[in-house]
Chains A and B, each alone.
Chain A
């Protein structure tokens, strides 16, 4: 009898322990929210949220804490990464899902996945050693190689595995009947890919791109290493508007990492505020992706 009660008792205790474990993540999210917003509050209060996000001047020494330049920096680098990385990722995804013979796909897939495991600091180092010197050869005033273009190239490589594998999954999860029906109607394989498979997999592909975007916005160390870190609004240096990509810049993530170790007072609080802005941006992007993914699964 006592034995049976003991068993039931253990069972009951473990159920509670496991439920508490399941709720740990919620607790962490709440704590992160409370602490970052709490430490950001003085800056929001003293400077004003709107003033912070709409002012381009970041000069902690003279009490100016506008982060619009960093918002723009993160935005333009992410845009560049998406423009460079997404076409390649989508091409690779279609290649793996529909075109490559299985033995080739079996070798290509792990190679691309390996890119996801390489530490971001190694990408940063590779960027400094290889990509920056190449970008430096572009003739433009003030171009030292460190800037938006180098950062976008590095970031494009970093989001490649994420976007490729989720898009491939989306294409593969299109029901086989769609493919068979289209081929049976006399469409070529390419017509099937273009007119049937890609449209059917579109929600999944879009959410893959959005997740890549989120990853790009959150990247820190590789960005610090190649973007130049000047807290200025990226601008074109010549008549050619494309030269904006040669401008130095600073990302939201970089702003925090570069200055947090020595910042005090309002300055420190403004860095926490930068974190809150980043957090909110990424939350918005991720929920958009989750929404589309849910719609895509049907």
Chain B
């Protein structure tokens, strides 16, 4: 049996019983009417939908992300709901408990909102500007690179390496960001580079 056809006809059949269910005539109002009956309005109506992927494991399930204007940050779009993408050949609309709760990750209480800085020996982070943070990091890195740069090894072979700063690359960064990570870290001469492949 072709379940999809059967399902469509089932839904049509269910709708056919209603008097005057013309979308053009009734529009959203009909859903408001349903609300009065304790059936909630359909919360995805009139949101913006985008296809994305789950950030967690390497099944990379297809996701539909629904967004609307942010209630917290004026003028920005924020995620209002996430569910699986039925068109995706692997997950066929399903999501696991992590994927199904991914909106709680986006809105986690632990999200970092601003650059934060902790001075040596202190007991708290303080909010700083991006410019302060990046200037300070660049300065610290240059100091270390200049102090520990190895241009040639004992045999006089050019080795151009910097061994005293390390980089742990994230396995959830997209390929393009991953390439930028490679280009920058190798460009600086780093050899202590690792990602989560081993762990």
Chain B associates with chain A:
no
Which residues of B pack against A, CB within 8 Å?
A: none
Which residues of A pack against B, CB within 8 Å?
A: none
